[in-house]
Structure 1
Amino acid sequence: MRPGVHVSPAGPDDLDTLVELCLTARTEAAVGAQLCTDDADRLRDQLGVLLGIPGGLILVGTVDGTPAGMLLARLVGPSLFTDAVSLNLEAVYVLPDARRRGLGHMLLATVAQQADEAGATDVYATPLPGSRGMQRFLARLGFAPAAAHRVVTTSALQRRLAHEGAGAARRPAPRGLEDLIARRRQVRESRSASAAVDQASVSITMQVNRAVQMRRPSASSSTTW
Structure 2
Amino acid sequence: MHVRPATSSDLEGLVDLCLQARAESGVGRQLCSDDRDELREQLAVLGSVDGGTVLVATCDDELAGLVLCRTMGPGLMSRAVVLSLDAVYVRPQWRRRGLGHAMLQAAAELAEDAGAGDVYAAPLPGSRGMQRFLARLGFAPAGGHRVVATSALLRRLALDVPAPGRRSSVRGIEDLIERRRRARQRVVGDDDAPRQAGASMSMQVRRAVHSRRPSSSATSTS
2:146 aligned with 1:150: yes
Q: 2:83 aligns with which of 83, 87, 106?
A: 87
2:28 aligned with 1:38: no
Give TM-score, length-normalised by structure 2. Answer: 0.72
Aligned residue for 1:98? 94
Take 1:128 and 1:65, find their aligned partners in 2: how far apart are those partners? 26
Aligned residue for 1:72? 68
Aligned residue for 1:19? 15
| Runs of 5+ consecutive residues of structure 2 not aligned to the other structure | 172-222
Question: Partner of 2:117: helix, strand, or coil?
Answer: strand
CA offsets, 1:14-67, max 9 Å, x none?
Answer: 111110000011111131332111111111111111111110011010112111
Take 2:70 and 2:24, find their aligned partners in 1: how far apart are those partners? 23
Take 2:12 and 2:90, find their aligned partners in 1: how far apart are those partners? 16
Structure showing greater Rg? 2
Aligned residue for 1:223? none
Take 2:13 and 2:45, find their aligned partners in 1: how far apart are those partners? 16
Aligned residue for 1:113? 109
2:120 aligned with 1:131: no
Take 2:116 and 2:54, find their aligned partners in 1: how far apart are those partners? 16
Aligned residues: 168
CA offsets, 1:197-223, max 9 Å, x none?
Answer: xxxxxxxxxxxxxxxxxxxxxxxxxxx
Aligned residue for 1:169? 167
Take 1:150 and 1:72, find their aligned partners in 2: how far apart are those partners? 22
Deviation at 1:163, TM superposition (A): 1.3
| Runs of 5+ consecutive residues of structure 1 not aligned to the other structure | 173-225
Paired letter, 2:80? A
CA offsets, 1:167-195, max 9 Å, x none?
Answer: 982267xxxxxxxxxxxxxxxxxxxxxxx
Contact 1:34–1:128 (8 Å) recurs in 2: no
Aligned residue for 1:159? 155
Paired letter, 2:147? V
Where has structure 1 moved over 3 Å in runs of 4 or more? none
Give TM-score, length-normalised by structure 1. Answer: 0.71
Q: Which has the higher contact order (CA 8 A, sep 6+)?
A: 1
2:147 aligned with 1:141: no
Take 2:98 and 2:112, find their aligned partners in 1: how far apart are those partners? 21
Question: Partner of 2:125: helix, strand, or coil?
Answer: coil
- Quote the sequence identity (%): 59
